[in-house]
Amino acid sequence: MKKIVLLGASNSCMPFRLNSGLSSVEGVELVNLSMGATGSLSKMRAIFHEEEVKHLQSADLIILETNICDFGIVYHTKWHTRQYFINLIQGLYEELYKLNTKILVLLLPNSNVKNNEISLEIDIANIHSFFCDKYGFNYINVLKYYLENDINYFFTLCTKDNNHQLKSIMFDLGLNIAKNLDKFLYPKKLTLKKKDVEYRLLSPKDMKLAKGELKEKKIIASKQKAYVLDKNTAFKIAKEYKGYKILGFTSYNFDKKLDLSKWWLSSSLIFKNKNKEFIVSSNAYFYFQPFKDSFIIDDETYIYFNEDNKSLNQGYFHEKNYIDYFALVDILLVKGEFKADEIAFSGNFIQTSKEYDFLHLYPNAVFYKELIEDFLNNVFSNANIESLKRIVNEQKAHLENELSNLKNENTSLKESLNSPEQKEKILNIRFLEEKVKRKELKNKILEKDLGFTHKDILESKILNQKIRDLEQILADTKNPYPNIHTSAKLRVQNHLAYKLGQALILNSKSIKGYIRLPYVLSYIKEKYKAEQKTYNDKISKNPSLKLPPLASYPDYEAALKEKECLTYKLGLALMKADKSWYKGGYIKFYFESKRLKKEFKERQSKK
């Protein structure tokens, strides 16, 4: 069994993408230590975490993916100098090098980057590339591939989320990496200079309690724990850490009280020493928050909850504490500073060793682009801009007309409610309500005198209705016209595959049809699921209602022919594509539908 450890950001966390592709190969164990929206500094934490480092030490391949988040942290926050970041990157690479295992660095494109920021994005990629070349790390520079082939903007249009690539592309990338584990190279043989720098990862359980008690909080889907700081709790950092600088901390403020669609809503902490008070917030998820300021631990350093909602020195969207505590996991410390050489680039991508370049494992995104464009051109080959504009304008005019009518109705309703006639109607309604109440009282008295209730009368009516329903079923069985109870062909036409295929054919005859097709298909699937649920519920209550096998019907042969028709086969192909969408199922469906239509036309010409 080969072990891959994924040390990335959100592109490595999202389901059905890179991680799914990596874990789908037999004989490969995937350990995912990724953390969304975090850059290179958070990966240093994994190296000094007592449990996570064991996975790194036993890995056959470590995959690093941080350049998109590095860009955001360095250039959007502008907390630190470029050289500080270079020091950080080389420090991380040197610690990874010491693990003496294969390293693969993914440099992914970020479609959110504006044109005037591309040179900065290239600079981040170049820093990573420079140290890949220095230490002998394998790399796949997707950013360079996208920019040189001018396809970055195209894939911006193809995704709902510009920070993440198409699922099918990332899945195939993971698959290709896992299949080629043995081909990746080990780092170069280097003699490292001794650096006067020491990292430590400090857990709250190793701190002193200044007040309160130690309260643990379980982290979902992890063996790790967070420790709760509320108004009654405070930690003091031991004197042995005096002189260490805080690089950042990990938090887990997930709480059912929070609206998780607004992930940034959370709470804040106060770090205080003899000379400084630093207040910082963190979001609701498992997250590593780097420090923007230099905070040095002295012999009177405390950490406590920001109970009074003091103004922040660092944080996002913080209006107040949305929960009444802060869950701290650990703090990353450093003593000394890793000093890298100053490096500068021309602005273009730097030249690196081809020996460690594994871009050939990345799916052919240029082909994907051409394929999608070809598909769209074929779909809209008979359309033109003017006809599309006409459809949009018709819809717009219709909606504006409806809006105008609603406004008029609203005005009329307000006027009507205030009219004398309407007030008279309201009084009449109240009079009728009182009349109904009096009748209900009389009914109760009558029920008592007669000895049976209104419910008894209703049940009698329901029984009569059931008798009529049974009589109707009996009449239907004598009906000479076929239904799904008497015809196998109609049973087949009631299958989901047939209904989907029918919808594909009917809606592919016009532009409007293509536009509404996704909604039609979704409606058919949901309706079919509801019908099947109702049928299964009835069967579970009364097994005798189960329909007989198709082979028992007199028109069974006709049903088999129906299964071979274009309508049914198109529906089956679409269902298959839907199940494997993450492997490019819909693109395969495009070609499969073409083949099925061609076969149908050939059969028709022979008749």
Question: Do 59 and 17 belong together in one domain?
Answer: yes
Q: At residue 167, does pLDDT exceed 80?
A: yes
**Distance between CA atoms of residues 340 and 489, nearest Å:** 76
Q: Give residue 476's pLDDT.
A: 47
Q: Give residue 41's pLDDT band: very low, low, confident or very high (50, 70, 90).
A: very high
Look at residue 466 and tell me whether its pLDDT is greater than 60: no
**274-287 tens-digit pLDDT:** 999 999 999 888 99
Residue 359 DSSP class: G
Bridge-based pairing state of the strands 28-32 and 2-8: parallel
At 403, the pLDDT band (50, 70, 90 cuts) reads confident
pLDDT category at 489 given cuts 50, 70, 90 is confident
Q: Establish if 435 belongs to a structural domain.
A: no
Please report which confidence band the pLDDT of residue 77 belongs to, taking 50, 70 and 90 as the band edges: confident
In a domain, 214, yes or no: yes
Does 529 score more than 80 pLDDT? yes
Confidence tier at 478 by pLDDT (50, 70, 90):
very low
Q: Is the pLDDT of residue 111 over 50?
A: yes
155, 22: one domain: yes
Q: Which residue has the higher pLDDT, 161 or 495?
A: 495
Residue 479 — very low, low, confident or very high, per pLDDT cuts 50/70/90? very low
| Residue 203: predicted pLDDT | 97
pLDDT in tens, 363-386: 999 998 888 888 777 666 655 556
Question: Helices marked H in 328-419 — which ranges?
Answer: 365-379, 385-417
Task: Answer yes or no: are the C-beta atoms of 181 and 4 closer than 8 Å.
Answer: yes
Q: Answer yes or no: is 286 within a domain.
A: yes
Q: Which tokens belong to 556? A: 């069974």
Q: Are residues 9 and 153 in the same domain?
A: yes
**Residue in 241, 286, 412 with CA at minimum distance from that of residue 10:** 286
CATH number at residue 174: 3.40.50.1110
pLDDT value of position 381: 60
Q: With respect to residue 555, please indicate whether it lies within any of the assigned structural domains.
A: yes
175 or 485, greater pLDDT: 175
DSSP 131: H
Residues 128 and 242 in one domain: no
Residue 147 belongs to a domain: yes
Regarding whether 129 and 22 lie in a shared domain, the answer is yes
Q: What is the mean pLDDT of residues 117-126?
A: 90
Please report, rounded to a whole number, the percentage of residues in the chain having pLDDT higher than 90: 44
Q: How far is CA 337 from the centre of its chain?
A: 38
Residue 247, classed as helix, strand or coil, is: strand
d(CA 529, CA 510): 28
Task: Please determine, for residue 459, whether its predicted confidence score (pLDDT) is greater than 60.
Answer: no
* Residues 18 and 167 placed together within one structural domain of the fold: yes
pLDDT grade for 470, boundaries at 50, 70 and 90: low
Shared-domain flag, residues 130 and 217: no
pLDDT score of 477 more than 50: no
Coil, strand, or helix at residue 23? helix
Do 183 and 203 lie in a common domain? Answer: no
Residues 256 and 141 in one domain: no
Residue 458 pLDDT greater than 60, yes or no: no
Same domain, 148 and 224: no
Residues in the chain: 607
Give the count of beta carbons closer than 10 Å to the beta carbon of residue 523: 12
CB of 130 closer than 8 Å to CB of 343:
yes
The first and second tokens of residue 516, run together, are 């509404």
Instruction: Determine, yes or no, domain membership for 467.
Output: no
* Greatest mean pLDDT range, 18-22, 68-72, 501-505, 530-534: 18-22
Domain count, the chain: 3
Structure tokens at 185: 């190279």
Is residue 102 pLDDT above 80, yes or no? yes
Question: In angstroms, rounded to a whole number, what is the distance separating the alpha carbons of residues 53 and 101?
Answer: 13
Task: Give the DSSP H/E element, type plus range, for residue 512.
Answer: helix 511-541
Longest Cα pair distance anywhere in the chain, in angstroms? 105
The DSSP annotation for 182-231 comes to GGSPPPP---PPP-SEEEEEE-GGGSEEEES---EEEPTTSS-EEEEE-T
Residue 241 lies in a domain: yes
What pLDDT does 558 receive? 86
Indicate whether 219 and 303 sit together in one domain: yes
Residue 414: what pLDDT?
Answer: 74
- Out of 68-77, 309-318, 529-538, 573-582, the most confident range is 529-538
Given a cut of 90, whether residue 443 has pLDDT beyond it is no
Dist CA 107 CA 607 (whole Å): 57
- Nearest Cα to 63, choosing from 11, 109, 14? 11
> In terms of residue numbers, what domain contains 181?
2-194+356-371
Q: Is the pLDDT of residue 575 over 70?
A: yes
What gap in Å lies between CA 199 and CA 49, rounded to an integer?
Answer: 11
265 DSSP 8-state letter: -
Quick check: 398 pLDDT over 90?
Answer: no
CA 120 to CA 494: how far, in whole Å? 58
Residue 530 lies in a domain: yes
Same domain flag for 17 and 104: yes
Q: How far apart are CA 303 and CA 291, in angstroms?
A: 14
Side-chain-facing half-sphere of 379: CA atoms under 13 Å:
18
What sign results for the dihedral spanned by CA atoms 70, 74, 80, 86? positive
Give residue 473's pLDDT.
Answer: 47
| Cα dist from 341 to 44, 67, 123, 262, 551, whole Å | 20, 20, 16, 41, 79
CA–CA separation, 210 and 300 (whole Å):
11
- Each residue of 226-274: pLDDT tens digit? 999 999 999 999 999 999 999 999 999 988 777 766 666 689 999 999 9
- What confidence score (pLDDT) does residue 576 get? 85
Average pLDDT of the residues of the chain: 85
| CATH code of residue 263 | 2.60.120
